[in-house]
Amino acid sequence: MESEGLDEIDKANKTNELDDITASLNISRERRRSLVLYVNTDGILVKAPLRTSMKEINQFIEEKQQWIKRTLRKMKERDGRARAIYENNHILYRGLELPLIKEEGVNERNAGMVLGDMSFDGVFYISKKAWPRRYELVVNWLKQKAKHELPAKLNEWARACSLEPTKTRITNARTVWGSCSFDGHVNLSWRLIMAPDYVQDAVIVHELAHLKHKNHSRRFYEELNTCFPAYKKGDEWLETWGLALIPEKYVLK
Ligand SMILES: [Zn+2]
C-alpha cells in the first residue's frame, strides 16, 4: 500500500526528532464523524468532519507528530529506493534489477525476443531512435508477460490448493496488487510480474484464500499458511519495493 492508515500508531516506537522532513498538508472536510490522517509520499492528508476548527485539526496533527515523522521518513526511503532504479536506467523484472541499454539498432546478435525497437535477453536493448520511449516499450513488454504468465501461475495454485476462481483478470491497479470479489473473481495487477516469483505466489495464494474466507480472520490466515507458509516474506518485499512497481511515478508521466 502506498498510504498508511492510523493503525500504524499502535506500532510506533519512540523515534528521534526528524525536523529535516517537510511535507505538504491537505485538509479535506467531509461528512464524517471523526478525524483521520493519511501519510504518503505526496504528503499528509487529514479528513475532518465538516465543522472541525483549524485549532482542533492542528492539535490532532500535533498529537500524531512522531508517527507522522516516522512514516514520512519510511516513505521517503521507499521512494528513494524506487527512484534510484529508474534513474539508473533499470527496471525490475521478477525481482531482478535489469538494465535498459541503448543500441544503434536492434542487434541481430541478441538471440532474445525481438519486438520492433526492443529486444530482451536478460537485459533490455533499446534502439537509439526509440530510446526516449524506452520505458513505454519495456512496460508494454512486461504487461504482455504478465497477461500470459500470471493467469497460468494462478491456475497452478488454484489446482494445488483446490481453490478455483470463477474468473481471472489482469488489471492496471497501482497499489492493490490483487483482489477477490464476492462472486469469486480474482484480479491481479500486471505489476506483479516485476516482483520475485515468491511474491507473486504470496499475492496469488492470498487472493485464492479469500475465495473461502472473505475477510482477514484467523481461519483465512490458517488457509493461507497451509497453501503457502512463506506468505509473510511476500508482504515484506512489497512493503520495501512496492513503489518500484509503479513506473508511472518515476518515468511514465
Ligand atoms: Zn486480503
Q: How far is the centre of ligand 1, averaged over its atoms, from the C-alpha of 127 (Å)?
A: 42
Residue 5 confidence class, pLDDT cut points 50, 70, 90: very low
Report helix, strand and coil shares of the chain as percent, to nearest 5: 45, 20, 30
Task: Reply yes or no on whether the pLDDT at 252 is more than 90.
Answer: no
Count, residues in the chain:
253
Q: What was the pLDDT predicted at 11?
A: 34
Nine-digit cell string for 27:
485538509
Q: How far is the centre of ligand 1, averaged over its atoms, from the C-alpha of 133 (Å)?
A: 36
Q: What was the pLDDT predicted at 24?
A: 84
Q: How far is the centre of ligand 1, averaged over its atoms, from the C-alpha of 159 (Å)?
A: 20
Q: How far is the centre of ligand 1, averaged over its atoms, from the C-alpha of 67 (Å)?
A: 25
Give the global pTM: 0.79
| Average pLDDT estimate for 26-47 | 89
Helix (H) or strand (E) holding 93: strand 90-93
Q: How far is the centre of ligand 1, averaged over its atoms, from the C-alpha of 210 (Å)?
A: 7
Task: Reply yes or no on whether the pLDDT at 61 is more than 70.
Answer: yes
Q: What was the pLDDT predicted at 218?
A: 95
Q: How far is the centre of ligand 1, averaged over its atoms, from the C-alpha of 64 (Å)?
A: 27
| Average pLDDT estimate for 136-161 | 96
- C-alpha 209/C-alpha 115 separation (Å) is 37
DSSP code per residue over 172-230 = --SS--EEE-TTSEEEEEGGGGGS-HHHHHHHHHHHHHHTT-SS--HHHHHHHHHH-TT
Q: What was the pLDDT predicted at 39?
A: 87
Residue 124 φ/ψ, nearest 5 degrees: -100, 120
Q: How far is the centre of ligand 1, averaged over its atoms, from the C-alpha of 109 (Å)?
A: 45
Closest Cα partner for 74 from 240, 223, 250, 201?
Answer: 240
Q: What was the pLDDT predicted at 7?
A: 38
DSSP-derived letter for residue 250 is T
Q: What was the pLDDT predicted at 43?
A: 83
- C-alpha 113/C-alpha 125 separation (Å) is 10
Task: Reply yes or no on whether the pLDDT at 3 is more than 70.
Answer: no
Q: How far is the centre of ligand 1, averaged over its atoms, from the C-alpha of 209 (Å)?
A: 8
Q: What was the pLDDT predicted at 10?
A: 32
CB contact burial 40-57 (16+ within 10 A = b; e otherwise) = bbeebbbbbeeebeeeeb
Q: Is the dihedral of CA 235, 236, 241, 243 positive or negative?
A: positive
Q: How far is the centre of ligand 1, averaged over its atoms, from the C-alpha of 193 (Å)?
A: 19
CATH topology of domain 139-249: Zincin-like (3.30.2010)
| Average pLDDT estimate for 157-180 | 93
| Average pLDDT estimate for 216-226 | 94
* Mean residue pLDDT across the chain: 86
CA 174 to chain centre: 6
Residue 31 confidence class, pLDDT cut points 50, 70, 90: very high
Residue 115 confidence class, pLDDT cut points 50, 70, 90: low
Q: How far is the centre of ligand 1, averaged over its atoms, from the C-alpha of 166 (Å)?
A: 18
Q: Where exactly are the structural domains of the chain?
A: 6-86, 89-137, 139-249
Q: How far is the centre of ligand 1, averaged over its atoms, from the C-alpha of 199 (Å)?
A: 14
